[in-house]
Amino acid sequence: MKDSVIAAQQTPSAQRSTRDLTRAAVSGWLGTAMEFMDFQLYSLAAAIVFNKIFFPDVSPAIGLIAAMATYGVGYVARLAGAVYFGRMGDRLGRKKVLYITILLMGASTTLIGALPTYATIGILAPILLVALRLVQGFGAGAEIAGATVMLAEYAPAGRRGLISSLVSLGTNSGTLAASGLWAVLLAVLSEEQLLSWGWRLPFLLSFLLMIFAVWMRRSLKESPVFEERPDVVDGVALARAEVESVIATADQHEGSVLAAGIRQRKGKAFFLALGLRFGQAGNSGLMQTFLVGYLATNLAVDRSVPTDAIVYGSLVGFATVPLVGLLGDRFGRRVVYLVLSALTVVLAFPVMLLITSGSTPGMLLGMVLGLNVGVLGLFSLESVTMAELFGSRTRFTQLALSKEIGGILATAIGPVLAATLTAVTDSWWPIAAMLIVYSLITFVSAYLAPETRGRDLVRLEDAV
């Protein structure tokens, strides 16, 4: 075994052409776009129609809370998927996992569009909805983590922030596609048509995107960083006991390289990443999920206005995301994180004043500002920073877990908590307060984190 490990360490660096990088970038963008399109389709449906077709026998406010709860259920399954597929990705490679996750997400999303409603089969309808939501979440739990890891490990160190931001553009593209589809449906269909069959169309159409994404990933090469890892032999990572055996008989240099990755006490990098994730995830749940239903249900705003605002915000995001990636490459991840999270804190109440002003232009401006500063900008940085914080031996698992635990604590619980607090206070101020709390957690985490720009991603140990 020792000879195999030494041979692996002496293997020349895995080479990838510009074409390979392009394919990896498109694959990562496409899979992430599909994940976020699936989830945004669901979140908008939960906010607009699911309370009527799956939870019709309760008050509008309780129906909204129930619909948001089914949205949150998927995040529990995402955690299970993060553990299962994250370990698989660190052990067997990134490519295999990305192929499986895209199939799980696409199939479950398509089947949601074919579900019978409460009026047809009663309580079984929301039960089936939750079941498919669990399958969807199980696959999605490793999709964005896998795409993030793959793209960061493909990218040249000097352009890693910009290239990794394409994962964030995938989230932006998916959000835009889902919001655009819903905006069209709300504009051209009557209430009766929307509730009877129109809501199904976006879910069924996602099948076409799944087919294309699967085709792209079949010919994708493995991450060069995974192939260069000193603990990977013949495409499979050695177990801890095997690595310890090699360390005992290896020379000082070889042994120290391997020992750095398996003997380092884990935890610091994980909790820093969790804090970095918290602001973006929590802000996203409020801006892109809860506010759509809140404005339509509580403030009687036409449902097309908040969906249009998300479309406009996503369009602006096509400039925001790569710009933030470039700034991260130029000035470092940490300082840009501090600036964006501080801006979100300062803008929280002004943004909510605009959104709840009753003025359509004000509402649009507030949503666009909140989405780009507090969600998309932070996510652009998150894509590369979290990958650089972790060592290559456990990068996939730790990144997936930090993303999904942050999602459960912030994105899944946030809309339900916001719905409860706004109902109790009969006001919008709890939403602004939650934006501030989420962003302050990210600010503190960025302050405590090391600068990771340019870090060698082949190293087995975490950055801190």
Q: What is the pLDDT along the chain (464 residues), one digit of tens a residue?
A: 555 454 444 444 566 778 888 888 888 888 888 887 877 787 778 777 777 777 666 556 655 566 656 666 677 788 899 999 999 999 999 998 998 998 898 888 899 888 888 878 877 887 888 888 888 888 888 888 999 999 999 999 899 999 999 888 887 788 778 878 888 888 888 888 888 888 888 888 888 888 888 888 888 889 999 999 999 988 899 888 888 888 887 777 777 888 878 888 889 999 999 999 999 999 988 987 788 778 877 777 777 788 788 888 888 999 999 999 999 999 999 999 999 999 999 999 999 999 988 888 998 999 999 999 999 999 999 989 999 999 999 999 999 999 988 888 887 778 888 988 988 998 999 999 999 999 999 999 999 999 999 999 999 999 99
Q: Are 52 and 63 in contact (CB under 8 A)?
A: yes
DSSP, residue by residue, 244-298: HHHHHHS-HHHHHHHHHHHSSPPSHHHHHHHHHHHHHHHHHIIIIIIHHHHHHHT
Terminal CA-CA length for the chain = 30
Task: Write the CA distances from 389 to 140, 153, 446, integer angstroms.
Answer: 22, 13, 12
Cβ density class 298-319: b for 16+ within 10 Å, e for less? beebebbbbbbbbbbbbeebee
> Do residues 41 and 174 touch, judged by C-beta distance below 8 A?
no
Closest CA to 263 of 244, 245, 237: 244
Whole-angstrom distance, CA of residue 42 vs CA of residue 112: 9
Contact between 95 and 146 (Cβ < 8 Å): no
Answer for the pair 373, 317: CB distance below 8 angstroms, yes or no. Answer: no
How far apart, in whole angstroms, are the C-alpha atoms of residue 407 and residue 400? 10
Kindly state the helix (H) or strand (E) to which residue 121 belongs, with its residue range. helix 118-121
- Coil, strand or helix: which one is 23? helix
The answer to whether 292 and 48 have CB atoms below 8 angstroms apart is yes
Region for 259 from its dihedrals, namely left if φ exceeds 0, alpha if ψ lies in -120 to 50, beta otherwise: alpha
14: left (phi over 0), alpha (psi -120 to 50) or beta: beta
